Amino acid sequence: MTNLPPYASTGQRLWHYGFLAICVAIFFFLIFPILVIVPLSFNAEDFFTFTRKMLALDPDGYSFKHYRDFFTNPDWQQALTNSFLIAPVATLLATGLGTVAAVGLSQSHVPYRGAIMAILISPMIVPLIISAAGMYFFYSRIGLQGTYWGVVLAHAVLGTPFVIITVTATLVGFDRSLVRAAASMGANPLTTFFKVQMPLILPGVVSGALFAFITSFDEVVVVLFLGSAAQKTLPWQMFTGLREQISPTILAVASIMVALSILLLSVLELLRRRSERLRGMTPG
């Protein structure tokens, strides 16, 4: 696909470059909306489009005022704090329970494996509005609606499928004879798990944890129904801001979050390389 043979006909050449052009256009479609908001977030005016001054690269056209608003406005700061109070706890819960269960699922003899897997994955598949509705009714009955722990538990359960999937995927490549070797040398199961198995599946666990974190950090539907004003998270604040005519501060928040996702992506890429190196492959 990549290199044309020297004997390619004109038609083949045309098609080849046409195809590349189509792909470039699709990549542009994927990435442009995300990147375009970054310069717009420095807009000195409260507009959502490039002003004449911005296009002329006039420094007066740019300012940090939307960022300043984000970092000084108590509403946004409260939302940010709440997000950081909820997401890590939900992540810990999801990662802990999910990793242990994935290790259990990877054993060779698990009765009703398919059914159990289906139940454990279902929080990822069921539409969020349905999960939110069910949780809203049920958690109201048991007094968890509108509480911190209600939101944390809900976010944790939504994050577990990702942990299960990523850890299970790493366990597929795990050499079971290492566990047997450790056991034959006298290590008890706990030591074997923490000294032998855990370091090797760590990349899977960490990327599962990242997924769980981002699930909670980015989740809005469930928190809208389950949370009260005291649990207002960053996405909640963005959602209400977007629904009632948008404030330009959202662009600053969005840009910060884009930076966050770039950071996340880099961590994941490093993890992938590490796990490939551990398996004796040269990272590509």
Partner 1 sequence: MTQTHAPVLTQDGRPLKASLARALRRDKLRAFLLIAPLLAFVLLTFAAPIADMLFRSVENGIVADTLPRTVAALEGWEPATGELPDEPVYAALVEDLKEAVAAKTHTRLGTRLNYELSGMSSLFRKAGRSVQKIEGDDVKAQMIAEDAGWGDIQVWSTVKRLSPRYTPSYFLAAVDAKQTEAGVAFLPERERIYLMLFGRTLSMSIVITLACLVLGYPVAFLLAHLPLRTSNLLMILVLLPFWTSLLVRTSAWKVLLQQQGVINDILVWIGLIGDNARLVMMNNQTGTIIAMTHILLPFMILPLYSVMKTISPSYVRAAKSLGANDWTAFWRVYFPQSVPGIGAGAVLVFILAIGYYITPELVGGTSGIFISNRIAFHISSSLNWGLAAALGTLLLLAVMILFVVYDKIVGIDNVKLG
The CA radius of gyration of the chain, in Å to the nearest whole number, is 24
Residue 59 or 109 having the CB closest to partner 1: 109
CA–CA separation, 157 vs 32, rounded Å? Answer: 33
Count of CA atoms in the C-beta half-sphere (13 A) of 30:
6
Nearest distance from C-beta of residue 33 to partner 1, angstroms: 4
Q: 58: which residues sit within 8 A by CB, 6+ positions away?
A: none
Q: Which is nearer to partner 1, 10 or 49 (CB)?
A: 49
CB of 61 to partner 1, least distance (A): 15
Minimum distance from CB of 42 to partner 1 (Å)?
A: 14
Pick the closer one to partner 1 by CB: 207 or 231: 207
Least gap, CB of 74 to partner 1 (angstroms)? 20
The nearest distance, CB 260 to partner 1, in angstroms, is 8
CB nearer to partner 1: give 38 or 85: 38
Closest residue by Cα to residue 89 from 203, 191, 233:
233
Nearest to partner 1 of 28, 64 (CB atom): 28
Q: With respect to partner 1, which residue has the nearer C-beta, 76 or 225?
A: 225
Which tokens belong to 80? 């940010």
State the number of CA atoms in the 13 A half-sphere of 28 facing the CB.
6
Cβ proximity of 91 and 209 under 8 Å: yes
Q: Minimum distance from CB of 8 to partner 1 (Å)?
A: 10
Using DSSP's 3-state secondary structure scheme, residue 6 falls into coil
Are 44 and 24 in contact by the 8 Å Cβ rule? The answer is no
Q: What is the DSSP string of 147-172?
A: SHHHHHHHHHHHHHHHHHHHHHHHHH
Q: How far apart are CA 137 and CA 154, in angstroms?
A: 13
Q: Please report, for residues 137, 145, 150, the alpha-carbon distance to residue 140 in angstroms, rounded to integers and kept in the order given.
A: 5, 5, 10
Least separation in angstroms between residue 72's CB and partner 1 is 21
Residue 5 or 59: which CB sits closer to partner 1? 5
